[in-house]
Amino acid sequence: MNKQECSGVFVFIEQVEQKVAGVSFELIGKGKELAVELNTDLIAVLMGYNVEGIADDLAYHGAEQVIMINDPALETYMTEPYVKAMTAVVNKYKPEIVLFGATAIGRDMAPRVSARVHTGLTADCTKLEVQEDTKDLLMTRPAFGGNIMATIRCPEHRPQMATVRPGVMQKYTAAEKIPCKVDRLEVPDLADSKNVEILEILKKVSEKMDIKDARILISGGRGMGSAENFALLEDLAEVLGGTVAASRAAVDAGWQEKDSQVGQTGNTVRPNLYIACGISGAIQHLAGMEESDIIIAINKDETAPIFEIADFGVIGDASKIVPMLTQAIKAQRK
């Protein structure tokens, strides 16, 4: 595409059963910042079936315009119909930037769309900014297992495309609901592009809260000593109404599941309260939680890097201090 013909920051809105993924709202917020710097528009791309009611919610979170493709073929996510529809959007409107969430759906769609429109894609970004002199998008992502951060440009091709990790961007919320312009687009023969048939959808039911949604996180690391000691964190989380997370070291040791991992190679979280128990604070872990409102660190190593960003620090063995903290909170609430 001719760079001079391209304009607008487009955000793919991921929805399942008319429920919008949190990362889409985060991308609208970030996309709005980028659009202001580039003096262009922020446009949300919404596709699915019976999704008309979502547009107002997108406007409330900062969307100035919505491109809507409402088609029965898009009721349930399938690769080919969604990729065909998104490719049609890109070819017609010629955006300068297109953003997807780094989710299962976003990671499936984005590389296929980028290939069809002959441009590049930077995956799993944790930072986006506009280069001052060139106005190119600088897309930063962890590389080599999170040991370095790579900043990538796409200077020759448009659109500039990226998938962005959930939890790293701030949502924008308008002071009041303002209706936005909705441009309805029809893409012919979407049903004909289906090459699989969905026979059944099995939903995983989990009683554990997603750590990205938790307002209070009790996170354990190698310093907890064993998988059994994570029961101490569960007790504290129950008292505080939070949930348990873990560092990469604890996950690699098999003490916790992968979906509870915080850090560059795990989840990025922004809770109101983050209690780091037995976590030294490697840079890869800090990148996943340093935006937490209040950080409390418990570690027996007084030189641990976690204390440099903690609001409150306790020097001592977390496996001994956590039960004392739990009991103190219980006593206070009696």
What whole-number percentage of the chain has pLDDT above 90?
Answer: 43
- Summarize the confidence of residues 228-235 as an average pLDDT: 92
pLDDT at residue 175 greater than cutoff 60: no
Strands (E), 199-285: 216-220, 243-246, 273-277
Going by C-beta distance under 8 Å and a sequence separation of 6 or more, which residues neighbour residue 297? 275, 276, 279, 281, 304, 306, 307, 310, 312, 313, 314
Q: Given pLDDT bands bounded at 50, 70 and 90, which one contains residue 205?
A: low
Q: Output 62 or 302, whichever has higher pLDDT.
A: 302
The reported pTM is: 0.75
Q: What pLDDT shows up at residue 126?
A: 85
How much is the average pLDDT of 110-122? 93
From CA 167, how far away is CA 43, in angstroms rounded? 21
pLDDT in tens, 275-293: 999 999 888 888 888 888 9
Residue among 28, 33, 34, 36 nearest 11 (CA): 28
- Is a pLDDT exceeding 70 seen at residue 146? no
Q: What pLDDT score does 174 carry?
A: 63
For the stretch 2-51, pLDDT in tens is 778 888 899 999 998 888 888 898 999 899 889 999 999 899 999 989 88
Structure tokens given for 201: 């959808």
Specify the pLDDT at position 206.
61
